């Protein structure tokens, strides 16, 4: 077993950290508070080949794997500038188009994703389906050579900065054996029949959320990604990368807030020693650091499994769970360490708590991960 990183991975960490560090936490917290996209950072990373690092070289990507994309997610987070849309654009949409798109679709969409010049966001969540994907009601009906999409999606991140949305829709009745017939469509963000409405959230994140109303949106057949009715399996293939990159983002955020807290606790003195000398302050930080480190290990394992083409579902779920819990514990301890300053706009820590809190719910909730582990790892009966 080998735990040391290759020279290239070390160099990759340093390069991403250098670019993201130029923006840093102050930039992020300001953007997050204003709900403004961190496009400058996205652009800088894209120009240097880090946004599409996992995409095929033939289409302008880096030709590397999820292991490398997780390093990008972690290091941007560790500089205090996490990029939520990496999970969606580079991880889910990039991987799905690279794996299931036709040669024409890959040539059309991947170069933009690879350079970071265009973004594709992902729409699965619906008001009446929630966590239960089998109840999705957005439908795609054949109309000549085209499809007509109708339905509603909500909490869809980044529509304002995206060129297209990868929409998960039902393209037929369930099979006799209960298999849900889902298909994936690339819908332009300005497609006629699509209404995009802001959905305000009170966590401070730069990425905005939206409700999508699809009213007979006409989608040509060349916008169907993969086989008709094969969407369920394809989505599941894309969800592991999303969970793994989500875990990496949390690891990065955890490292960042704990570094901030350690720096503060070493200098802030209100009795005769720095507050970090009090175990009541130090131990929660140390505990969170342990959790972050453990989550980082699991994240690397999950990314490695995915890159080897081995089953990665269990590791991806465990990594996502552990990393979100660790980031939340880290953010909470960091805020507590700062006392009143922990809640100030100037210290800018609350956005990281909000982000970690969000990642306990999305892209997959902690309950659904626990269900997965209970059922698949422990063989326990299912409640739903």
Partner 1 sequence: MNIVVCVKQVPDTWSERTLRESDSTLDRDAADAVINELDEYAIEEGLRLAEAHGGEVTILSMGPDRATEAIRKALSMGADKAVHLVDDALAGSDLLGTSAALAAVLGQIGFDLVILGSESTDARTGALPAMLAERLGVPQLSYASKVEVDGSAISIHRLADYGYDTVEATLPAVVSVVEKINEPRYPTFKGIMAAKKKPVQTMSLADAGIDPATVGLANAASEVTGWAKRPPRQAGTIVTDEGDGGAKAAGFLAERKFI
Ligand X SMILES: Cc1cc2nc3c(=O)[nH]c(=O)nc-3n(C[C@H](O)[C@H](O)[C@H](O)COP(=O)(O)OP(=O)(O)OC[C@H]3O[C@@H](n4cnc5c(N)ncnc54)[C@H](O)[C@@H]3O)c2cc1C
Task: Identify whether the C-beta of residue 103 lies closer than 8 Å to the C-beta of residue 345.
Answer: no
Greatest alpha-carbon pair distance for the chain in Å reads 79
Beta bridge partners of 142: 147
When the beta carbons of 156 and 330 are compared against ligand X, the nearer one is 156
C-alpha distances (whole Å) from 69 to each of 50, 198, 241, 314 are 8, 29, 9, 19
Q: Does 156 bind ligand X (CB under 6 A)?
A: yes
CB of 263 to ligand X, least distance (A): 29
Tokens 């992902």 found at: 122
Which of 64, 205 has the CB closer to ligand X?
205
CB neighbours (10 Å) of residue 371? 18
Does residue number 7 form part of the binding site for partner 1 (CB under 8 A)? yes
CB of 317 to ligand X, least distance (A): 13
With CB under 8 A as the contact rule, the residue among 23, 28, 42, 50 that binds partner 1 is 50
Element (H, E) at 27: helix 7-33
347 lines the binding site for ligand X (CB under 6 A): no
Residue 48 as a binder of partner 1 (CB under 8 A): the answer is yes
Among 29, 32, 41, 53, binds partner 1 (CB under 8 A): 53
Q: Which does 237 bind (CB under 5 to 8 A by kind): ligand X, partner 1, none?
A: none
Shortest Cβ 68–partner 1 spacing (Å): 8
Given the complex with partner 1, which of 267 and 383 has the nearer CB atom? Answer: 267
Q: Answer yes or no: are the C-beta atoms of 94 and 110 closer than 8 Å.
A: yes
CA distance 319 to 273: 37
Question: Distance between CA atoms of 255 and 240, rounded to whole angstroms?
Answer: 23
Q: Which residues inside 80-109 make contact with ligand X, applying CB under 6 A?
A: 88
- Report in angstroms how near the CB of residue 69 gets to partner 1 at its nearest: 11
Q: How far is the CB of 48 from partner 1 (least distance, A)?
A: 4
Q: Is 211 in the site for ligand X (CB under 6 A)?
A: no
124 binds ligand X (CB under 6 A): yes
Does the bond joining 363 to the residue before it have cis omega, within 30 degrees of 0?
A: yes
Can you tell me the distance from the alpha carbon of 300 to that of 372, in angstroms, rounded to the nearest whole number? 20
> Under the criterion CB under 6 A, does residue 368 sit at the interface with ligand X?
yes
């Amino acid at each position: 077993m080998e735990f040391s990183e290759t020279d290239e991975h070390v160099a990759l960490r340093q390069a991403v950290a250098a670019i993201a560090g130029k923006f840093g936490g102050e930039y992020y917290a300001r953007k997050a508070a204003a709900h403004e996209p961190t496009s400058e950072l996205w652009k800088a990373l894209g120009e240097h080949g880090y946004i599409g690092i996992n995409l095929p070289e033939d289409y302008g990507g880096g030709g590397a794997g999820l292991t490398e994309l997780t390093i990008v997610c972690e290091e941007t987070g560790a500089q205090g500038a996490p990029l939520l849309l990496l999970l969606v654009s580079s991880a889910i949409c990039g991987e799905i188009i690279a794996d299931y798109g036709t040669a024409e679709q890959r040539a059309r969409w991947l170069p933009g994703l690879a350079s970071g010049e265009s973004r594709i966001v992902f729409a699965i969540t619906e008001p009446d389906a929630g966590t239960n994907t089998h109840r999705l009601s957005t439908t795609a009906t054949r109309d000549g050579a085209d499809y007509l999409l109708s339905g509603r999606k909500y909490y869809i991140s980044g529509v304002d900065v995206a060129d297209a949305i990868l929409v998960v829709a039902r393209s037929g009745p369930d099979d006799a054996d209960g298999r849900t017939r889902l298909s994936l469509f690339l819908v332009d963000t300005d497609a006629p029949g699509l209404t995009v409405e802001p959905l305000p959230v009170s966590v401070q994140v730069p990425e905005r959320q939206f409700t999508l109303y699809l009213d007979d949106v006409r989608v040509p057949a060349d916008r169907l990604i993969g086989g008709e009715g094969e969407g369920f399996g394809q989505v599941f293939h894309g969800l592991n990368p999303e969970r793994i990159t989500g875990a990496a983002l949390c690891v990065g955020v955890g490292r960042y807030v704990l570094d901030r807290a350690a720096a503060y606790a070493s200098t802030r003195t209100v009795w005769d020693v720095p507050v970090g000398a009090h175990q009541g302050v130090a131990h929660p930080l140390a505990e969170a650091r342990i959790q972050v480190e453990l989550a980082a290990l699991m994240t690397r394992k999950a990314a490695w499994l995915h890159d080897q083409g081995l089953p990665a579902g269990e590791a991806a779920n465990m990594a996502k769970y552990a990393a979100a819990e660790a980031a939340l514990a880290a953010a909470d301890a960091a805020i507590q360490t700062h006392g009143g300053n922990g809640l100030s706009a100037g210290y800018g820590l609350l956005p990281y708590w909000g982000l970690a809190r969000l990642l306990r719910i999305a892209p997959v909730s902690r309950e659904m991960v626990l269900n997965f582990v209970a059922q698949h790892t422990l063989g326990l009966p299912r409640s739903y």
